Structure 1
Amino acid sequence: MTEQDFDFLRVLLQVRSGLHLSAEKGYLVESRLGMLCRRRGIESISALVATLRREPGRELENAVVEAMTTNETLFFRDRTPFDLFRDVILPEKLAANAQSRQLRIWCAAVSSGQEAYSLAMILDEAAPRLAGWKIEILGTDISTEVLEKARQGLYSQFEVQRGLPIQLLLKYFRQEGDKWRVDDRVRAMVELKQHNLLESSTHFGQFDVIFCRNVLIYFDVPTKARVMAALSQRLAPNGAFILGAAETVIGITTTLVPDPLHRGLYRDATSRATQRPEPAGPAGSPARSFVPLS
């Protein structure tokens, strides 16, 4: 791969997906696109670039983007955001949305589905408190390949051992050979759609909760700001926005601000919830029938 090939691919990936490749990432391009070339019978990355230059088209460009996208995920990843959802956000929304009895959640960059299904299991555990409610969980990703895996809901023994408590495995999965499939009821709670975070999301409407974790770290600062501004417009009044543990809004956007009471939770800058006092005593504590994540 020549320097000119790398520059072409770097611009293509930036424009098509927001992925920012620094100069030292050449090895990653060689590794991932080398595998793509072998699968497609293309003799080299330089030949791949020549084809992209000569015959630009969505199908091959999408294949390059998918090959370069990191799809690392696991059930209840980092645990804290899911505790926060169960113990803080869900009780808050049960009170705030008592009249509409609707709850909309968006998992942006859902990858192979573990995050969305983790939230669905939490909500199923809270079913007595959600009787009569309309619950929507939307999971989106730029990669059609990982979305197909998410729709299948079929995971290896290694994948279900990463973060998933044994009680939930036995309750919400059935074994199929050496793999485990998510229960149909849980899968039915999640709608999966292909979506590029650089494109308009206005057609999705507004959400009470948005999870956008561990994807913005791959973007440069202007792209992060652009995506956060767009996502904040999809957040309902007093909505909750969750980033990854290594991500922050500080120095990137003023449309979202940290919740003063809960680390990792962000609000719309105009949200009254950012001023809400800490609930006191047992009355402010949610009932817990959920299996502990520890």
Structure 2
Amino acid sequence: MKQTMGVTSTDFDFLRDLVYRHSAVVLSADKTYLAELYLQPITASLGLATIGDLVDYLRNKPFSATHTQVIEALVTNETSFFRDIYPFEALQKFVLPELIKKRAIERSLNIWCAACSHGQEPYSIAMLIREHFPLLANWSVKLIASDFSSKALTKARQGRYNQLEIQRGLPSNLRDRYFHKLDNDWQIHDEIIKMVDLQQINLVKPWPSLPKSDVIFLRNVLIYFDIPTKKALLKKIKQQLSSDGYLFLGNAETTINLDTSFERLQLEKSICYRLK
């Protein structure tokens, strides 16, 4: 018998498998609250009564936009401006100054935020560049930001954030310089939005052609994957990263015991990785 408010373990197993097959994200069996929190609007929009009815609908239909909606709803989009500030400090103090010296002749720089969610991370990097590296205005700087979720990318392209999102990590001087009020929200200026090339890329599917990356932010992504997927992704990252480039992972992530091609580098309070 279907539960009215909750989700049965059998139905959640179907949802977990759906998410894994299309995003490689592993949802643990105790995350049923995600379905209860995020799937009710989709259920209601289809005129269905319960999440169990939604699962039946998904089981009996070919893969569609509704399946994509459900997957995107269940995958975490947790992010904030200048999240865990230390990687951004390392970028400002060490990584970009070094790369600017090394790239002085070609005057080009490529940065990739490989799971950008709602855009706070790439926009943080764009503001950092605008604030501290004015000489890069005359360089070819490609700041690519990607996510597998079209919904997340739509929000990122809008560049509009509510007060809570603004308060999480964004210094007030940057807010005042690069945002303006729009009703009850804050709208990032077009000059920052135009610095970021937003693309839809599923990291576990074939990638489009990308320029070699001097810096890759792949933060708080590996934690959602199983070990074979982590290894496969790091192998692709290794091929994408410039020979002298930098890889930033999340605080709880590492390449150790996954890929021996990388060496760990401590830059003050930040950890990053380079190819050996």
Aligned positions of 1:1-294 closer than 5 A: 1-259=7-265, 263-268=270-275, 270=276
SS in structure 1 of the partner of residue 112 of structure 2: strand
Q: 1-side partners of 2:29 and 2:100: how far apart?
A: 48
Task: Map Cα deviations across residues 49-87 of structure 1 (whole Å, 9 max, x no partner).
Answer: 222222122312211111101111111111001001111
TM-score, scaled to structure 1: 0.86
Task: Map Cα deviations across residues 163-210 of structure 1 (whole Å, 9 max, x no partner).
Answer: 111111111111222211111111110011111111122512311100
Q: State the Cα distance separating 1:33 from its structure 2 match.
A: 2.3
Q: 1-side partners of 2:265 and 2:171: how far apart?
A: 29
8 Å contact 2:110–2:211 — kept in the other structure? no
SS in structure 1 of the partner of residue 26 of structure 2: coil
* One-letter code aligned to 2:102: A
8 Å contact 1:13–1:19 — kept in the other structure? yes
Q: 2-side partners of 1:12 and 1:257: how far apart?
A: 35
Q: 1-side partners of 2:45 and 2:253: how far apart?
A: 34
Same amino acid, percent of matched pairs: 43
* One-letter code aligned to 2:149: S
8 Å contact 2:94–2:267 — kept in the other structure? no
Q: 2-side partners of 1:70 and 1:205: how far apart?
A: 28
Q: 2-side partners of 1:123 and 1:249: how far apart?
A: 27
- Aligned counterpart, 1:289: none
Q: State the Cα distance separating 1:42 from its structure 2 match.
A: 2.3
Q: 2-side partners of 1:156 and 1:27: how far apart?
A: 24
Q: 2-side partners of 1:256 and 1:69: how far apart?
A: 28
TM-score, scaled to structure 2: 0.91
SS in structure 2 of the partner of residue 233 of structure 1: helix
Task: Map Cα deviations across residues 210-255 of structure 1 (whole Å, 9 max, x no partner).
Answer: 0011122111122112222212211111110001111111122223
8 Å contact 1:202–1:234 — kept in the other structure? no
> Closer, same or farther in 2 for the Cα pair 1:83/1:127, shift >3 Å?
closer
SS in structure 2 of the partner of residue 38 of structure 1: helix
* One-letter code aligned to 1:233: Q
Q: State the Cα distance separating 1:139 from its structure 2 match.
A: 0.7
Gaps of 5+ in 1: 271-294
Q: 2-side partners of 1:253 and 1:32: how far apart?
A: 35
Q: State the Cα distance separating 1:111 from its structure 2 match.
A: 0.7
SS in structure 2 of the partner of residue 241 of structure 1: strand
> Closer, same or farther in 2 for the Cα pair 1:81/1:194, shift >3 Å?
same
Q: 2-side partners of 1:13 and 1:129: how far apart?
A: 43
* One-letter code aligned to 1:169: R
> Closer, same or farther in 2 for the Cα pair 1:184/1:39, shift >3 Å?
same
SS in structure 2 of the partner of residue 264 of structure 1: strand
SS in structure 2 of the partner of residue 136 of structure 1: strand
Q: 1-side partners of 2:262 and 2:79: how far apart?
A: 25
> Closer, same or farther in 2 for the Cα pair 1:46/1:91, shift >3 Å?
same
Q: State the Cα distance separating 1:261 from its structure 2 match.
A: 5.2
Aligned residues: 269
